[in-house]
Structure 1
Amino acid sequence: MGEKISSTKGFTDSVGHSTLSNIASADKFNRWMYETITPFCEGETLEVGGGIGNISQCFLLDDKKLTVTELRDDYCDIVKENLGNHACLNEVISMDIVDPEFDTKYQSYFESFDVVFALNVMEHLEDDLLAISNCKKLLKAGGKLIILVPAFQFLFNSFDRALGHYRRYKKDSLKELFKRNKFEVLHSQYFNFIGTLGWWVSGHVLRKKVVPEGQMKLYNFFVPLIKIIDFFTKRFVGLSVIVVGRKN
């Protein structure tokens, strides 16, 4: 399938919206990502950078209460339009997790959540250390922070540049951000080993800027098999890395 940049010119982030729209069609993949983090999600949960709601809807379909934040107002509007009538959606908040006036603007949300998670957000932020610090402020004592980001700098390619990524991570570098913010690290793993192959070919060889919709649909079909492979590889390699920490 062709890239969809031209069809999303009305959005502030046309490349990001095209990518999220293509990933939205991969229901098995989104469900897999959701099921990977939900063992750590108990209580009041906040999603930082919910995009167009690909993971948000998984929580709501399972009748789990969720508050969603998003930097872009047009994404907030999409989430409200598509998911706003769901009884388990508490609120959709326009929030910049690295806002210079974060403490003033969002103080009413401080220490309100048992879980804060951000999937594919930190790589977009120049000051990821500050972002982790501000996520911590939103957590209750003993609350958990879950971060998923792209893994391995050698995979950085045209996709990353088009999406505005500053970097990719390894388990050690992501855990270091948690430790510098005085989190207790509870869990770390890599995620989606097979995805590295498609990312490399499409981004390095074909130099695409948007994850192709056809590629996502094909990948989605094989997710049950890919999950089995990931069981054996998640300690060592993957397209993404996940770290979970506890606020003490």
Structure 2
Amino acid sequence: MPEVIKISNAQSVSMSDDWYELTDPNHFWIQWRFNVVINQLSPFLTKESRILEIGCGNGLVMKQFADNLGRTIEGCDLNTFAINNLVKDLSGTVYLYDIYDRNPDLIGQYDVIILLDVIEHIENDSAFLAVALEHLKTDGILVVSVPAHQWLFSNFDLQVGHKRRYSLKEINRLFHELDLVDIHSNYWGGGLFPLVLIRKFYLIFNKKNMIRKGFKPPHALFNKVALIMMKLEIKLFQKPIFGSSVIAIGRKNSPILT
């Protein structure tokens, strides 16, 4: 069992609890996202890299790091439902922590911070990322994944608590405004693009159990086919020019010595 440390008071978050009941490590989208993140992040990792996942939820990504890379990472969240329902056999430390509290034991302590499908839930995404960066060491790496294209915004987005979706240009602008350097960004999930579009129109007329209908694969075969699509995209396209999500990686700029 992970160590759960309470640093901040729990708060309501713009995230549906139903999400955690539907996600599992075998879901094609969960695997796709993790593989995209690792392909982009691996060149920056060392054995000593200390990693924090902000918005870790029930620890699913933490478990993926342990199972696939043998790495124990840390996570933080404010959602007590998620923290009280952590995935089985999870290791590491989970903090009940509001990053705006700027705990001195965590500020400037991490080599890598990841935020996977988090900032689209935040009203002021720029301010939130600025505080997240305070937890990085100098030259630390920030990894962000977000849903792509505002015109794909749907009832599903509303149900899961999204404020917006992003273009590649918008993410790059956000990273530049935060003074990040060595920025790498691209779309991913191109094969899922038509499915997200179909989901948008389907959920206009089917409003019951929208999160389940919009996320859970209708059949095990569907999941297998999507995983094949994932492998093809990752193998054939290093930087896809379109997709249903965006990933961006940037380095915290070193302060100029005077």
Interval of TM-score (by shorter of Structure 1 and Structure 2): 0.7 to 0.9
Structure 1: distance between partners of 2:25 and 2:136: 32
Post-superposition shift, 1:23? 3.1
Structure 1: distance between partners of 2:109 and 2:136: 6
Deviations 1:17-69 (A, max 9, x none): 33343231634542332222224252100011112222221111132020011
Q: Quote the residue 1:36 is aligned against.
A: 36
DSSP-derived class of the 1:55 partner: helix
Deviations 1:210-239 (A, max 9, x none): 124233744421212333146449432111
Structure 2: distance between partners of 1:83 and 1:69: 17
Structure 2: distance between partners of 1:111 and 1:14: 27
Post-superposition shift, 1:184? 0.6
Q: Residue 195 and residue 149 in structure 1: after superposition, are their counterparts in 2 closer, same or farther (change >3 A)? A: same
Q: Quote the residue 2:75 is aligned against.
A: 68
Q: Quote the residue 1:159 is aligned against.
A: 156
Aligned CA-pair RMSD: 2.4
Question: Which of the pair is proportionally richer in helix?
Answer: 1
Unpaired runs of at least 5, structure 2: 1-11, 254-258
Q: Quote the residue 2:217 is aligned against.
A: 214
Alignment match of 1:122 (pick from 119, 128, 137)? 119
Query: Which residues of 2 match residues 1-248 of structure 1 at below 5 A?
Result: 16-24=16-24, 26-39=26-39, 40=41, 42=45, 43-61=49-67, 62-79=69-86, 82-84=88-90, 86=91, 89=92, 91-97=93-99, 99=100, 102-103=101-102, 106-207=103-204, 208=207, 209-210=210-211, 211-215=214-218, 217-222=220-225, 223-229=227-233, 231-232=236-237, 234-248=239-253
Post-superposition shift, 1:205? 2.5
Do the aligned residues in 1 keep the contact of 2:192 with 2:243 (CA within 8 Å)? yes
Structure 2: distance between partners of 1:143 and 1:233: 23
Q: Quote the residue 1:4 is aligned against.
A: none
Aligned length: 227
Structure 2: distance between partners of 1:200 and 1:115: 33
DSSP-derived class of the 2:145 partner: strand
**TM-score, L = length of structure 2:** 0.79
Do the aligned residues in 1 keep the contact of 2:113 with 2:141 (CA within 8 Å)? yes
Do the aligned residues in 2 keep the contact of 1:118 with 1:146 (CA within 8 Å)? yes
Structure 1: distance between partners of 2:20 and 2:81: 13
Structure 2: distance between partners of 1:216 and 1:13: 31
The alignment-based identity, stated in percent, is 25
Do the aligned residues in 2 keep the contact of 1:146 with 1:244 (CA within 8 Å)? yes
Q: Residue 232 and residue 221 in structure 1: after superposition, are their counterparts in 2 closer, same or farther (change >3 A)? A: same
Unpaired runs of at least 5, structure 1: 1-11
Do the aligned residues in 2 keep the contact of 1:188 with 1:244 (CA within 8 Å)? yes
